[in-house]
Structure 1
């Protein structure tokens, strides 16, 4: 492993770390489809014009679902150039999808909804408070985060980093009202009982 600081370890996992995984096709976090918990929620989301962000989007299966169901204002962010290259090919004829290759923590924007799917678990636990503060800063008034978090611990030095509602609630509560944070009933079988579904309302 290259010692370049963009690779990092623990608290400093960076662009090159993720890009190397993409180049090696080591994307074990990818479930190969949009999360059923997210698609079910978004099926009931009436305003298709709302500004939606998916940070750390990977293959962006959720964005494919959103496009197919009529959403028109979707922004995708990933830090790995290889991932972004793939996304730009995938969505080349979809003007409703904006794709950015950048660090989420440097991003500026205004969104009505942020979809969380295997991004929080990729961030070192030491940056979780920074994550929640940043999320709140780019959400419009009445904006929200919806998605899934792991409901298990991994006890390893590299992602994914897990947790539980008891760990997550104090992290989110300074910036969000927690409407829902409960075990997913519709996770894919390999993640049964290992995910919580969240609906977090910006304060």
Structure 2
């Protein structure tokens, strides 16, 4: 079985960037029921994960409308976030595919769920063109230590992203092994997002 290494960096909108925008909104006093968010990001395979995939002959590709640019797979999406950062939902466009000489694993319908302290992405996973199953796919920490923000935008850099135990098992089922063990990161995420001005519809006295 061949899994050729993909130094792929997957990009899709990630909740951590969305949390950034929520913090910015709080700074300018946004009291809207929900904040409108739009962003993009890049997931880059962690070095150890890339080496593990390469050792088993697995490659990483983008599923349209996600695109590949060198080692990156870029995605975008839009959604909402509560001003107090207690919740958020961001559907993501496109997906990713891990493939070897004998098997492939498609990951689509990515959906970022934003929470305080930790975010996650659910996704539909399908092996070898079979039926898709929605699972809790990846988790990532929410920390102000790596977030930069303005009142209407935010960015996050080098945020570690880990597979859930269920997702690790999906990789094992498809390729005989998981690319990571325990809490080791599968990706590092870099992302940015914009927040719609909650006061844009107000008239000036």
Q: TM-score, normalised by structure 2?
A: 0.30
Tell me which protein shows more strand as a share of its residues.
Answer: 2
More RCO (CA 8 Å, sep 6+): 2
TM-score (norm 1): 0.30
